[in-house]
Chain A
């Protein structure tokens, strides 16, 4: 079974530029998550999709971050414009359903973003 695919693996941009990350979840997984992991911290949930609808985006900085999952499969996360503090690893994860009942989330390898 193929895992969660993310691209690119690494990205370096200058502040105020824009960047986009792509995620393809495990086939058949209804729920998709984007996490931000700043160095030395645990992953922080940015946005959670159930199929193509947003379940939780309470911690997404909506003035600069946006995400979509148009067909309920793959997803893109965009930052525009980027700030230095956006430097982090962006992890995508998926689960078969939501997290109810302790459903496991499967993670991709992440995209390491460096803003200079």
Chain B
């Protein structure tokens, strides 16, 4: 069975500072990994995804994530955050059948 653990429920960070949102997964088969963002009162929007190949994946809005198979992690990073990045971020894992979401990490940008 698959599962996703997002280690931090909330992450405060100052504007223009770097941020890392952590995600660990477990699965008995090869998986695909995703990060979605949810702005207030909106649905989920795909930030980036890892299917295969290069372990460093670049997404929209300056975000990137690195797939680490040995540590079963897929952490999301941004070198300099903006107030507009205030949102909830969900890590997700998928096999061929379904997609399982983590509980989410709320990113607070401090002025």
Contacts and interface: CB of A to CB of B under 8 A. Distances in A.
Interface of A: 4, 40-45, 48, 55-56, 91, 93, 98-102, 104-110, 112
B49 A42 contact: no
Interface in B17-55: 32, 34, 36, 41-46, 49, 51
Contact of B43 (A44, A102, A104, A110): A110
Contacts of B34: 102, 104
Contacts of A42: 4, 90, 92, 101-104
B87 to A, nearest CB: 14
A105 B92 CA distance: 11
Given A98-B96, A99-B32, 11 more contacts: A4-B43, A44-B101, A93-B43, A99-B95, A101-B51, A102-B32, A102-B49, A105-B99, A109-B41, A109-B42, A112-B41
11 contacts: A42-B103, A48-B98, A56-B97, A93-B43, A99-B95, A100-B96, A102-B32, A102-B49, A104-B34, A107-B36, A107-B43
A105 B46 CA distance: 8
B101 A43 contact: yes
Contact of B99 (A40, A45, A108, A112): A45
Interface residues of B, number: 26
Contacts of B32: 99, 101-102
Contacts of B4: 42
B94 interface: yes
A102 B104 contact: no
Given A107-B44, A107-B45, A110-B43, A40 B103 contact: yes
B101 A102 contact: no
B68 to A, nearest CB: 18
A109 B44 CA distance: 8
Contacts of B100: 45
B7 to A, nearest CB: 14
User: What 9 A-B pairs have minimum CB-CB distances, sorted nearest first?
Assistant: A42-B101, A102-B32, A107-B43, A100-B96, A102-B51, A107-B44, A109-B43, A42-B103, A43-B101
